[in-house]
Amino acid sequence: MGLEMAETDWASLIVQIFWLLFFILLFTGANQKIQMKLWSMDIRNKLRIIYKYFNDDEDKVKNLLKNLGVASPELLFKRVLDFFTIQPVDIEPTDIIKRLDHLLRTSDKSFRRLVASYLPGIDRYERSLIETSLSIVAALYMVYKIIRHYLLLGEKENNWILLMQLELVMPQIMRIVETYHKALDAFTTGKPIGDGVGPLVAYRLIELGEVVSRRIVEETSITELRLDNRRYIIIKAEGPGSNVGHPGAVLASVIEDLKGGVDLVVTIDAALKLEGEENGEIAEGVGAAIGDPGPEKIAIERATTKYGIPLRAVIVKMGLAEAIQGMRKEIYEAGERTVEYIRRLVKELTPINSTVVIAGIGNTMGIPG
């Protein structure tokens, strides 16, 4: 009989043990603890990868700083990594744009002053590359700190919902982190990035036209030229350093200087594509194509609304990786096509001898003018 049992019932014994274990886990809640452990292990592994990226990038920028003569870049890193800007009060919306603009400009100036104090003899071009590289490292460190905070909090409080949310969002975070990590190369070498397609179009228009005048206001260039029997005013960040300028505020001041004597305003910018859309697709529409937190965009909207000037937008679609990493060929080619697109649009919408303001929005790194 014992022999019979050995021959026939091993499989059913395993199945019975399996079910027994299953019910024990289910009724004691241990299955959830195992699941939590698995999630936290996975998050911890990904956190290690993020820290490695941060470490690699930190070393890269530290070496860069040492080559530029900074004896102890650790001190600069200590101050930069924890640098923060507090958002203005939003339960009282009166003058929030003014306050936000003030805080953003103060933050920008303070950050630049901080970097400049450690690199006194360096030119603006190189300093702008260092500033953006430091911002990337600081962003990676911030992501690392936030993920670590929620992981430790979830583990400490046995909060499986928190860990589950973190686990589900981790692939998206990892993709963004990898994109930032890879973007550092472009910013340390000064090559144009995908986001620079707006300034590239603006620069090409300057090349094509007959330049009348050029001036720099708030790190933003204003170039007046004649092209296709029209008066063009081209606004873009001053290049070729890593700079986005203040195109909104400058555009508003140009319109005010001309007392509203502008027939058309066109903004050109890189825009994040939806999944399934092609990189380098061009689209046109109405409104201000600019991805700032608010002050620049509202300045364009207010100035054009005040004088009833048509506000048009042309965007070049791309993914996040294409936007902040080196400019891909298809984006460059889209930029070249956009130049012709803009010229055609201006001819369609304005009569001869009109005044047209074109703003190339984005980071102008690697693109002069």
Residues that bind another protein (CB under 8 A): 7-8, 10-12, 14-15, 188-192, 200, 203, 239-240, 325-329, 331-332, 366-369
Per-position DSSP letters for 6-44, written without gaps between them: HHHSHHHHHHHHHHHHHHHHHHHTHHHHHHHHHHHHHHH
What b/e string do you get for 146-176 counting C-beta neighbours within 10 Å, with b at 16 or more?
ebeebbeebbeeeebebbeebbeebeebbee
Nearest-approach distance from CB 203 to another protein, in angstroms: 7
In degrees, to the nearest 5, what angle opens at C-alpha 97 toward C-alphas 214 and 297?
45
Nearest-approach distance from CB 7 to another protein, in angstroms: 7
User: Which residue's CB is nearer to another protein, number 9 or number 74?
Assistant: 9
Nearest-approach distance from CB 118 to another protein, in angstroms: 21
Cis peptide before 88 (omega within 30 of 0): no
User: Which residue's CB is nearer to another protein, number 102 or number 175?
Assistant: 175
User: Which residue's CB is nearer to another protein, number 224 or number 322?
Assistant: 322
User: Which residue's CB is nearer to another protein, number 43 or number 262?
Assistant: 43
User: Which residue's CB is nearer to another protein, number 37 or number 302?
Assistant: 37
Nearest-approach distance from CB 97 to another protein, in angstroms: 34
Intra-chain end-to-end CA distance of the chain, in Å: 94
d(CA 362, CA 368): 13
d(CA 194, CA 363): 9
User: Which residue's CB is nearer to another protein, number 66 or number 145?
Assistant: 66
Q: Which tokens go with 243? A: 């700079």
Nearest-approach distance from CB 51 to another protein, in angstroms: 19
Angle between helices 124-156 and 160-189 (to 10 degrees): 170
Torsion angle defined by CA atoms of residues 14, 15, 20 and 23, in that order, rounded to the nearest 10 degrees: 140
List beta partners, residue 356: 232, 264
Nearest-approach distance from CB 84 to another protein, in angstroms: 31
Residues 6+ apart with CB under 8 A from 254: 222, 233, 235, 262, 357
d(CA 131, CA 110): 11
Contact 289, 267 (CB under 8 A): yes
Sheet holding 264-272, edge to edge: 210-217, 220-227, 230-237, 355-360, 264-272, 311-318, 282-286
User: Which residue's CB is nearer to another protein, number 67 or number 94?
Assistant: 67
User: Which residue's CB is nearer to another protein, number 113 or number 329?
Assistant: 329
Nearest-approach distance from CB 361 to another protein, in angstroms: 17
Nearest-approach distance from CB 134 to another protein, in angstroms: 17
User: Which residue's CB is nearer to another protein, number 14 or number 272?
Assistant: 14
User: Which residue's CB is nearer to another protein, number 188 or number 267?
Assistant: 188
Nearest-approach distance from CB 332 to another protein, in angstroms: 4
Nearest-approach distance from CB 137 to another protein, in angstroms: 18
Q: Using CA of residue 198, residue 202, residue 207, residue 209, what is the dihedral sign?
A: positive
Short-list 243, 140, 266, 249, CA closest to 195:
243
